[in-house]
């Protein structure tokens, strides 16, 4: 549960819930709901009652500050039906914190030492407000500051040990839940689902207990569709073994049905796949970009060590730059011929082993009689005829550029090398 | 309400709730709660019932995809206590969408045309799943895809008009609440707040009723600090007059205190300011990018009509490309001298009136004895000596590149021209 009107107004993003979700999952604790609520006493109390009705424990972030709109403490006291008292050790810790910074503690900070009767304190090591462990019947509220690094510190030191103790007392397995994301380009979500349907059915149909792995499809973002495999196991090592087996099987099924569609695992982006493909072969790469205006280059330089294999890009947005710098023959610049000449030009001008070019129509107008979304990609390599490829991508100007960049880099990955291994 | 187990597991961030919060606030609609829930039928139903019990309307994002874990439609039908039926117009729209991309529609997509009896459709213009407007008694559920650009499109076209109609019917709209964002670069949030403190105090101190305008500072994102002015008025026209007066006054105060720090209004980005500055003077622009790897160019080409004034960029990531293509003298490439030679080279190679260069150290290692975050910018123009500027920016590799891009483009805007008018 995140507390703060600024979250509801969209003035800041709630990054704490994402962080907590990730770390709770890694610890084998199932998260069922997130909530955000503003700085309003009645609504915070209502959010706590809702949360406690449907979950065994609630972690609340924010509203522990020293100002008048920091009211999480009071709301918890109401939910627990107890008064607040001032905790001397917390006052002392705050005084020490202030004096170590050579400052006098303002009176208003004293409020931060108010704790509901019956609750325990998670001491601060980085800020002023202590965290709270507040039992509500056999359930529990953990309250921590909204400042991300104070929150994460108290989660590790205070919340996680208490959660583990409660789970052990209840005889619940404190195993781990671990996920792995297999990233694909070139297949639709429904196409992936149909291709993997038999595998998923087989997992669900296994006798004795819950499925050993669950599979979900994520279409978020624009960089292809993700296949997420989640397993529950006693420890990280067993989980990794289960995930390895699932990954191998899913790669096999997809490869048989649709070829080399898997480009990476977890956080690996398409530029990481290109980097692995190009650098492992000892090659250097140069680009010539028209449609994408430098977007492909700006992604490649994000890969650590890119300077070892990436030479640069000629962003030839004006046609004259294509003709004069890259040596493209005068004529239509959205064509396979232009794409091939641009790729050759990139190799020559930038002194690279491999030249990749991207030209096309961002829209909204047509160009060289081609509709918006038309993309031509050129690929020049020593010992090969220079090739060109064409395809269409959907979306507005910016999206056309992003899709064209991903598709061109994927084409390079597939043509020059194989998939990178997980 | 956001639906998706990946949100609870922290695998993706819920950016939709932030976006919706911001846009609901701008429309004068109060947001009281956010929730996130996984792909679990019982828990989605419970989350809907909770949300409807404490709010008049619920916007739900996600779970409208074609796969077995997309179950928002079924959960809404249970909450409404009605069956689903297949909507022919939605089937037809999906078929058209697929065939326009030259693809056959998989059978599994048909599920996306299932709608609860009694609900209305928000047609898709970008993807496949239609949005839904589902009355529940005198309350309402709006269901839209989790893909951000489909969500935001449907919010503007379908949700906001329906919300406005409902508010008018209930006699709640007594006018409009309109905001304008004044975008600045080069001042801190506290510096802006101090500079505008007297103006804000004067607004609050006016007699008779609430302040005619409220001012807030938004530090979200990395593109400078935003000053948001919000006014309440009888109609859009009166609101615009109030906002114009506030904008004029705020620009005057900031200009007197800190110079040309305002670069745009609302969605105007730094590249729009550059486009206005360069094109209004009939100039053309060419870049030479090392540190930023094409990022500056990729932002400039997003401005409609960029081909009229933007020539291109030489992304000279390898030092040899700087020496051989741009004619930079051999030696340190992170220096004022190199930046000036790069800017001259960009003008010459790309045939542009103005040459802008960016070189520097992204980190984590030092380069040419300069620490990470060091940036040199060169600016070459006919009739002027070529200049260089240097500064330091904070952050990791990606953030250093983004700050360097914004700072270099802002420098070009200030040096070549004045601010763009609101």
What would the CATH number be for the domain defined by B176-265? 3.30.70.2860
Give the integer Cα–Cα distance in Å for B182 and A21: 36
Residue B222: pLDDT above 90? no
Beta carbons within 8 Å of A387's beta carbon, 6+ residues apart: A340, A378, A379, A415
Domain range B281-416, CATH architecture: Alpha-Beta Complex (3.90)
CATH topology identical between A2-169 and A276-416: no
Count helices and strands in chain B by DSSP H and E runs? 15, 17
Q: What is the pLDDT of residue A26?
A: 75
Residue B421: pLDDT above 50? no
Give the integer Cα–Cα distance in Å for B66 and B110: 8
Q: What is the pLDDT of residue B220?
A: 64
- State the pairing for strand pair B176-184/B262-265: antiparallel
Contacting residues of B for A313, CB less than 8 Å apart: 293-294, 313, 315, 317
CA dihedral B70, B71, B74, B78 (to 10 degrees): -160
> Domain ranges in chain B?
2-169, 176-265, 281-416
* Helices of type H across B266-316: 270-280, 295-300
Structure token pair of residue B228: 């948001």
Cis peptide bond upstream of A237, omega within 30: no
Taking phi first (over 0 means left), then psi (-120 to 50 degrees means alpha), and beta for anything else, what does residue B86 get?
beta
Q: Please report, in tens digits, the pLDDT of each residue of chain A (422 residues total).
A: 999 988 998 878 899 999 999 888 877 788 999 999 999 999 999 999 999 999 999 999 999 988 777 899 999 999 999 999 999 999 999 998 888 877 788 888 899 999 999 999 999 988 889 999 999 999 999 999 998 889 999 999 999 999 989 988 888 766 777 889 999 999 988 899 999 999 998 887 876 555 678 888 887 678 999 998 988 888 889 999 999 999 999 999 999 999 999 999 998 999 999 999 999 999 999 999 999 999 999 999 999 999 999 999 999 999 999 999 999 999 999 999 999 999 999 999 999 999 999 999 998 889 989 999 999 999 999 999 999 999 999 888 899 999 999 999 999 999 998 543 43
Contacting residues of A for B101, CB less than 8 Å apart: 392, 394
C-alpha torsion sign, points A404, A406, A411, A412: positive
Chain B residue nearest residue A26, CA to CA: B9
Given a contact cutoff of 8 angstroms between Cβ atoms, the answer to whether A274 and A300 are in contact is: yes
Cis peptide bond upstream of B364, omega within 30: yes
Q: What is the pLDDT of residue B70?
A: 95
**Interchain CB distance below 8 Å, B67 and A221:** no
Provide φ and ψ at B261, rounded to 5°: -90, -15
Contacting residues of A for B149, CB less than 8 Å apart: 399
Give the integer Cα–Cα distance in Å for B7 and B14: 7
Give the integer Cα–Cα distance in Å for A213 and B75: 24
Mutate which: B312, B345, B359, vs A, most A CBs within 10 A:
B312
In Å, how far are A202, A220, A274, B10 from A268, measured between CA atoms?
29, 15, 10, 17
Q: What is the pLDDT of residues B340-394, one digit of tens each?
A: 999 999 999 999 999 999 999 998 889 989 999 999 999 999 999 999 999 998 8
For A271-291, the DSSP string reads: HHHHHHHHHHTT--EEEEEST
Q: What is the pLDDT of residues B1-23, one digit of tens each?
A: 999 999 998 888 899 999 999 88
Radius of gyration of chain A (CA): 28
Greatest CA separation for chain A: 82
Q: What is the pLDDT of residue B175?
A: 67
Instruction: Please tell me the number of Cα atoms within 13 Å of B341 on its side-chain side.
Output: 20
Mutate which: A220, A326, A353, vs B, most B CBs within 10 A:
A220
With tokens 């409902």, the residue in question is B166
Give the integer Cα–Cα distance in Å for B130 and B86: 12
User: Would you say the pTM of this structure is higher than 0.80?
Assistant: no
**Interchain CB distance below 8 Å, B9 and A20:** no
Mutate which: A5, A7, A8, A400, vs B, most B CBs within 10 A:
A8
Q: How far is B237 from chain A (nearest CA, A)?
A: 25
**What DSSP state is assigned to residue B370?**
B
How many CB atoms are located within 10 Å of the residue B164 CB?
Answer: 16
Please give the CATH superfamily to which domain A276-416 belongs.
CinA-like (3.90.950.20)
CATH (one of 3.40.718.10, 3.40.50.620, 3.40.190.10, 3.40.980.10) for A2-169: 3.40.980.10
Residue B261: pLDDT above 60? yes
Residue B419: pLDDT above 70? no
Burial tier of B189 (Cβ tally within 10 Å: 0-12, 13-18, 19+) = middle
In Å, how far are A308, A309, A416, B200 from A279, measured between CA atoms?
8, 6, 11, 57
List the single residue in B46, B298, B325 with the smallest CB-CB distance to A294.
B298
In total, chain B counts a number of residues equal to 422
**Interchain CB distance below 8 Å, A350 and B149:** no
Structure token pair of residue B302: 């997003």
């Amino acid at each position: 549960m995140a507390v703060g009107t600024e979250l509801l107004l969209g003035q800041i993003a709630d990054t704490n819930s994402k962080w907590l979700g990730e770390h709770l999952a890694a610890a084998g604790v199932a998260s069922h709901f997130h909530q955000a609520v503003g700085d309003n006493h009645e609504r915070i109390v209502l959010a706590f009652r809702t949360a406690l009705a449907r979950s065994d424990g609630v972690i609340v972030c924010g509203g522990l500050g020293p100002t008048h709109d920091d009211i999480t403490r009071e709301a918890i006291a109401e939910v627990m039906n107890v008064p607040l008292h001032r905790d001397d050790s917390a006052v002392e810790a705050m005084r020490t914190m202030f004096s170590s910074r050579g400052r006098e503690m303002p009176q208003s900070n004293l409020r931060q030492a108010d704790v509901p009767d019956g609750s325990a304190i998670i001491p601060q090591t980085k800020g002023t407000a202590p965290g709270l462990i507040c039992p509500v019947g056999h359930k529990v509220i953990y309250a921590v500051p909204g400042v991300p690094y104070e929150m994460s510190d108290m989660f590790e030191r205070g919340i996680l040990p208490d959660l583990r103790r409660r789970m052990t007392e209840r005889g619940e397995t404190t195993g781990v839940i671990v996920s792995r994301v297999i990233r694909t380009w070139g297949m639709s979500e429904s196409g992936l689902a149909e291709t993997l349907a038999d595998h998923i059915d087989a997992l669900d149909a296994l006798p004795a207990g819950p499925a050993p792995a669950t599979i979900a499809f994520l279409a978020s973002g624009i960089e292809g569709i993700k296949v997420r495999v989640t397993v529950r196991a006693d420890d990280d090592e067993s989980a990794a073994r289960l995930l390895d087996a699932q990954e191998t099987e899913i790669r096999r099924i997809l490869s048989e049905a649709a070829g080399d569609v898997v480009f990476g695992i977890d956080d690996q982006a398409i530029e990481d796949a290109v980097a692995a493909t190009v650098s492992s072969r000892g090659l250097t790469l140069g680009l010539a970009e028209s449609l994408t205006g430098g977007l492909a280059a700006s992604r490649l330089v994000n890969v650590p060590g890119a300077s070892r294999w990436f030479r640069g890009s000629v962003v030839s947005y004006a046609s004259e730059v294509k003709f004069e710098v890259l040596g493209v023959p005068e004529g239509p610049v959205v064509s396979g011929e232009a794409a091939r000449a641009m790729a050759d030009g990139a190799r020559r001008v930038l002194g690279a082993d491999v030249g990749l070019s991207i030209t096309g129509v961002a829209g909204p107008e047509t160009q060289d009689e081609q509709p918006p979304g038309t993309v031509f990609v050129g690929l020049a390599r020593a010992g090969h005829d220079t090739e060109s490829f064409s395809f269409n991508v959907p979306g507005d100007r910016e999206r056309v550029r992003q899709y064209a960049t991903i598709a061109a880099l994927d084409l390079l990955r597939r043509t020059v090398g194989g998939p990178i291994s997980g």
